[in-house]
C-alpha cells in the first residue's frame, strides 16, 4: 500500500452559541436555542433545540447517519434546523 492510498483526514471547526429564551408565561420553562458557525466559510445554522443540534452533528460526522444531511429527513418538522444568520 502506498502513502497516496490513504485518504486525507477531514477537519471541521464550528463556533457553538447557546442562548436562553425566557417565556412571558411564568408557568412555562425557558427555551434554549443553539447555532453553529462554520469557521471555514462563516455559514451559520440555527437549531430550535438540543436534539436537533445533535441530529445535525451525527449526520455531519457519522457515515451511518449521513442520509439525514442529504435531505431525506425522517424527523418531524419541529426537529428541523434552519440555515439563517438571524435565527431566533
Distances (CA, A) of 78 to 38, 48, 83, 85, 87: 23, 8, 15, 19, 15
The reported pLDDT for the residue numbered 82 is 56
Question: Which of 13-17, 43-47, 75-79 has the lowest average pLDDT?
Answer: 75-79
- Cell digits for 39? 469557521
Average pLDDT score over residue span 56-82: 61
Spell out the residues 6+ positions from residue 3 whose beta carbon is closer than 8 angstroms to its own: none
- Cell digits for 23? 417565556
The reported pLDDT for the residue numbered 75 is 45
The reported pLDDT for the residue numbered 83 is 53
The reported pLDDT for the residue numbered 64 is 74
Amino acid at each position: 500500500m502506498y502513502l497516496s492510498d490513504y485518504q486525507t483526514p477531514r477537519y471541521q471547526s464550528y463556533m457553538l452559541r447557546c442562548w436562553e429564551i425566557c417565556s412571558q408565561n411564568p408557568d412555562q420553562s425557558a427555551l434554549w436555542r443553539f447555532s453553529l458557525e462554520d469557521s471555514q466559510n462563516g455559514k451559520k445554522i440555527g437549531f430550535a433545540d438540543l436534539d436537533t443540534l445533535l441530529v445535525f452533528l451525527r449526520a455531519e460526522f457519522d457515515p451511518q447517519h449521513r442520509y439525514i444531511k442529504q435531505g431525506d429527513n425522517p424527523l418531524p418538522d419541529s426537529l428541523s434546523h434552519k440555515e439563517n444568520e438571524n435565527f431566533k
